[in-house]
Amino acid sequence: MTPTSSEPSVALPRLGVLYNPRTVEILSLARVSPGRWRTVWLVDRELNAQVGARRLLRRFGEVIDITGLSMAEAATCITEPLDGILATNDPDLVRAAELAEQLGLPHFCPAQVARLNDKFLQRQALQAAGLPTPGCVRIPAGMSLDAAVAAVAGLSYPAILKPAHGASSRATYAVSNADEVGQRFAERLDYPSEDFVVEERIPDGWAPADSPWADYLSVESLAVDGEITHFGITGRGQLAEGFRETASIMPPALAPAEWPALYGLATAAIRGLGLSSGVFHTEIKLSADGPRVLEVNGRLGGGSISWLAERVSGYSLLAAAGLVNLGRPPAPVPVPVPVPANTNGVGFAVYVQPPYEAREVVDITGADEVRAIPEVDELVLTRRPGDQVNPPEEGSQSVVAIIRGLAADHVRVAELLAQIEKSLQFSYR
């Protein structure tokens, strides 16, 4: 059903939404806002050039143009007070914190956002909180290659090289020694334009050949005034080269007895970062040494997680995120029962990743065949023939197709992953 904007809104709070077309689905937000809040879209035209999108935004709320403005300047454009601010990606968390500080609204403060977005600062905070933490070294922009190699010589390898501020495994590389760190940097034409970190790799829980499921997952959590509620856990398919995501599975293929420990670890990580309110997406690796925190994100998880949550349980994480960012308790979370028999089934989202060396999509076949699979709800082609791709730099955002649906159980999901991989074919150059 198409959302409408005609519902009475006199008594509803006003939620400022930093609009980004990559992380905000306008119609999805418009569908969950009636009866909960009035949406005020905060739009930067330099990031959102599509005129059609701005027209659509006006159908479902007030639009305030903040193009080229500092958050102090943007605050002066907001003539009717806001009650909260919603950010859906890491860079916008910074702007939301600055704007909330100007307006006196509940939100993360800039120091908290720094601990969420900066991978080195987050590792330091988690270590200080007593959580097991791999060794991590920052390589600041401007450091010479020789100095960078020397700085990481004392780490244990294998390790991972990645931007200190980054998402979706952008520019993320496996490295086997300090010299390889230098080689990777030397290959980057823009080095050293930003800070990087080199982090010891947490031991794998199992070999990729042993399971269709990856040895990491994420806990989706909501917190208001120190009370943390965990919605559930999202499993993953095996990673593509460059640590790129290939599938999200909800609920995961995980024994019920293992869930409480993962919830406890997510709670400890959130509190270890000094956070008491917000929406959190905590990635955890099921290592051979026990579960270990990969990172905590102060936003909803990407990769179709909100879609999956609603598909398998009827619960809207997006609506919950809006309420939490207004400082209000979300709707009660359904009792998290980690077995498909107590949900609608097992939700899946498949992300078709191009080969690591691919740079352009040439042809696509098999889309109609995949759409005809009974369990498939939708297939979205995110790249077309002639579109460019750059997996090393784009990370998981190099995805060329997304397939979402619902299956009876994990055995069937595993079969579907194989069937989709066989049927949907892309050619590249």
In a domain, 2, yes or no: no
In a domain, 7, yes or no: no
| 111 class by beta-carbon count within 10 Å (0-12 exposed, 13-18 middle, 19+ buried) | exposed
Task: Give the percent of the chain with pLDDT over 90.
Answer: 84
In a domain, 126, yes or no: no
CATH number, domain of 172, equals 3.30.1490.20
CA distance to 4, 319, 328, per residue, from 13 (Å): 18, 13, 10
Task: Give the percent of the chain with pLDDT over 70.
Answer: 94
Q: How many whole angstroms separate alpha carbon 282 and alpha carbon 270?
A: 8
Asked if pLDDT for residue 342 goes beyond 80, the answer is no
Residue 186's pLDDT is what? 87
Residue indicated by tokens 């899946």: 348
How confident is residue 192, by pLDDT bands cut at 50, 70 and 90? low
Domain closes at, from 327, 344, 361:
344
Instruction: For residues 84 and 155, state if they share a domain.
Output: no
**Other Cβ atoms closer than 10 A to 52:** 7
Peptide bond into 385 cis (omega under 30): no
Instruction: For residues 152 and 76, state if they share a domain.
Output: no
How confident is residue 49, by pLDDT bands cut at 50, 70 and 90? low
Q: How many whole angstroms separate alpha carbon 337 and alpha carbon 340?
A: 8
CATH number, domain of 333, equals 3.30.470.20
Q: How many whole angstroms separate alpha carbon 92 and alpha carbon 96?
A: 6
Q: How many whole angstroms separate alpha carbon 282 and alpha carbon 296?
A: 4
Instruction: For residues 209 and 326, state if they share a domain.
Output: yes
Residue 35's pLDDT is what? 96
CB 407 within 8 A of CB 429: no
CA distance to 79, 165, 197, 242, per residue, from 140 (Å): 40, 11, 8, 22
Tokens representing residue 384 in the block: 């077309």
CB 238 within 8 A of CB 413: no
In a domain, 5, yes or no: no
Supply the Cα-derived Rg of the chain in whole angstroms. 21
Interval 67-95: pLDDT, tens? 999 999 999 999 999 999 999 999 999 99
Q: How many whole angstroms separate alpha carbon 300 and alpha carbon 294?
A: 16
In a domain, 275, yes or no: yes
Instruction: For residues 280 and 188, state if they share a domain.
Output: no
Instruction: For residues 331 and 215, state if they share a domain.
Output: yes
Residue 100's pLDDT is what? 97
Amino acid at 3: P
Q: How many whole angstroms separate alpha carbon 322 and alpha carbon 36?
A: 8
Residue 294's pLDDT is what? 98
In a domain, 428, yes or no: yes
Asked if pLDDT for residue 59 goes beyond 60, the answer is yes
Q: How many whole angstroms separate alpha carbon 2 and alpha carbon 59?
A: 12
| Residue range(s) defining the domain that contains residue 160 | 135-200
Interval 294-305: pLDDT, tens? 999 999 998 799
Q: How many whole angstroms separate alpha carbon 301 and alpha carbon 308?
A: 11
Instruction: For residues 193 and 219, state if they share a domain.
Output: no
Predicted TM-score (pTM) of the model is 0.94
CB 43 within 8 A of CB 57: yes
Q: How many whole angstroms separate alpha carbon 103 and alpha carbon 37?
A: 18
Domain closes at, from 177, 200, 223:
200
CB 403 within 8 A of CB 376: yes
Q: Residue 263: helix, strand or coil by DSSP?
A: helix
Count of domains forming the chain: 4
Domain closes at, from 295, 314, 344:
344
CA distance to 7, 47, 281, per residue, from 302 (Å): 29, 19, 9
Tokens representing residue 2 in the block: 């198409």
Tokens representing residue 313 in the block: 């349980």
Tokens representing residue 30 in the block: 């418009």
Residues 6 or more apart from 223 whose CB is under 8 A from it? 229, 270, 275, 276, 277, 278, 279, 280, 324
Instruction: For residues 247 and 328, state if they share a domain.
Output: yes
Instruction: For residues 192 and 236, state if they share a domain.
Output: no
Average pLDDT (182-203) is 87
Instruction: For residues 213 and 275, state if they share a domain.
Output: yes
Instruction: For residues 147 and 186, state if they share a domain.
Output: yes
In a domain, 77, yes or no: yes
Q: How many whole angstroms separate alpha carbon 155 and alpha carbon 134?
A: 9
Interval 124-179: pLDDT, tens? 999 999 999 999 999 999 899 999 999 999 999 999 999 999 888 999 999 999 99
| 66 class by beta-carbon count within 10 Å (0-12 exposed, 13-18 middle, 19+ buried) | buried
Instruction: For residues 325 and 206, state if they share a domain.
Output: yes
CA distance to 14, 139, 174, 251, 346, per residue, from 147 (Å): 50, 9, 20, 45, 49
Angle at 125 between CA 276 and CA 327, to 5 degrees: 15
Of 143, 154, 199, 148, nearest in space to 173 by CA: 199
Instruction: For residues 21 and 81, state if they share a domain.
Output: yes
In a domain, 212, yes or no: yes
Higher pLDDT, 214 or 186: 214
Residue 189's pLDDT is what? 60
> How many helices and strands in the chain, by DSSP H and E?
14, 18
Q: How many whole angstroms separate alpha carbon 165 and alpha carbon 163?
A: 5
Least confident of 25-34, 329-338, 350-359, 416-425: 329-338
CATH number, domain of 24, equals 3.40.50.20
- Any idea what DSSP says for residue 357? T
Q: How many whole angstroms separate alpha carbon 399 and alpha carbon 397?
A: 5
